[in-house]
Amino acid sequence: MQGTIVAAYGKRFQVELLDKKRISCVTRGKKTDLACGDMVTIKLTDKHEGVIESTLPRKTLLYRSNAFKSKMLAANVTQIIIVLATQPSFYEALLNRCLIAAEAANIKALIVLNKCDLADNDDAKQKLALYTNLGYQVLSLSAKEDISTLRPYLQGHASILVGQSGMGKSTIINALLPDEDVRTREVSHVLDSGKHTTTAAHLYHLDEHSQLIDSPGLQEFGLHHLSTDELEHAFIEFRPYLGKCRFNNCKHLQEPDCAIKDAVAANTISADRLATYQMFRTEISH
């Protein structure tokens, strides 16, 4: 039997079959390298329970990682929606980490600035001007007041919502899917992990061709799963200059005649983005 993982709670998963029936599943042995959005084959062990036998090939896979382990956030997504807010102020390094992970996984990124109904939002919008100039789509809205401007961006996509706690992801989910709150609690109860709902990922169907995965609130987003080559290529504004430095193995740190640093000096590349790259490179090299 084939289905899609629509909820992931540690070592337990809820799989939606092709007929929309949902089965609570475990994996064989200690295998837990599965994510929400994975397409799997299962074998029933009871009327409503089963074992995941295999994973079908993935189109995309979104990771985060630290020096010791990596965590899969979602599989087969076509878009990452990074939710920020005017208040509380967002962590720009986390935004950059999400963008880099998306680029490395070849997943389209959309930045959503929520809570724009609050009066003091100029600082947040000013911060995001850099990313608009880089070509990223930035959408300003207030999920509490009107979610309609977001809907066209979701059409035809398998999207994942990511963001720090407090940015309003839950408000967005509730506005898009007002009937899903009860169902989420029911799933948590069925998988015997109601107290862990904030650490679980859920996949929701917006319509026949559009899905939305809600991921737990992020406080960190490590990039240790990336190579240094993947990292520099994920900074999209670096790409025209890669391979043009004096040294083939230029790290864009202290080397002379670095094309990236020359572009910063010419105001073609943001000094802040170069500093962010250098911080990330040092981090993943240790």
pLDDT tens digits for range 250-282: 999 999 999 999 999 999 999 999 999 999 999
Of the candidate ranges 156-165, 172-181, 186-195, the one whose mean pLDDT is the lowest? 186-195
Q: In whole angstroms, what is the distance from residue 268 CA to residue 270 CA?
A: 7
Q: In whole angstroms, what is the distance from residue 114 CA to residue 83 CA?
A: 7
Answer whether residue 73 shows pLDDT above 80: yes
pTM of the model: 0.89
Average pLDDT rounded to a whole number, residues 12-16: 95
Those residues whose C-beta lies under 8 Å from the C-beta of residue 278, and which sit 6 or more positions away, are: 252, 253
> How far, CA to CA in Å, does 58 sit from each of 4, 39, 75, 219?
12, 8, 7, 26
Q: In whole angstroms, what is the distance from residue 29 CA to residue 53 CA?
A: 11
Of the candidate ranges 127-141, 193-207, 251-265, the one whose mean pLDDT is the lowest? 193-207
- The predicted pLDDT at position 191 comes to 52
- The predicted pLDDT at position 197 comes to 41
Q: In whole angstroms, what is the distance from residue 278 CA to residue 274 CA?
A: 6
b/e per residue, 66-104, with b = 16+ CB within 10 A? eeeeeebbbbbbbbbbbbbbbeeebbeebbbbbbbbbbb
- The predicted pLDDT at position 10 comes to 78
Of the candidate ranges 55-64, 88-97, 174-183, 274-283, the one whose mean pLDDT is the lowest? 174-183
What does the domain layout of the chain look like in residue ranges? 2-55, 61-214, 228-284
SS3 32: coil
Architecture of the 61-214 domain:
3-Layer(aba) Sandwich (3.40)
CATH of 2-55, one of 3.10.180.10, 2.40.50.140, 1.10.3720.10, 3.40.50.1820: 2.40.50.140
Domain 228-284 of CATH type 3.30.70.370: no
Q: In whole angstroms, what is the distance from residue 10 CA to residue 111 CA?
A: 28
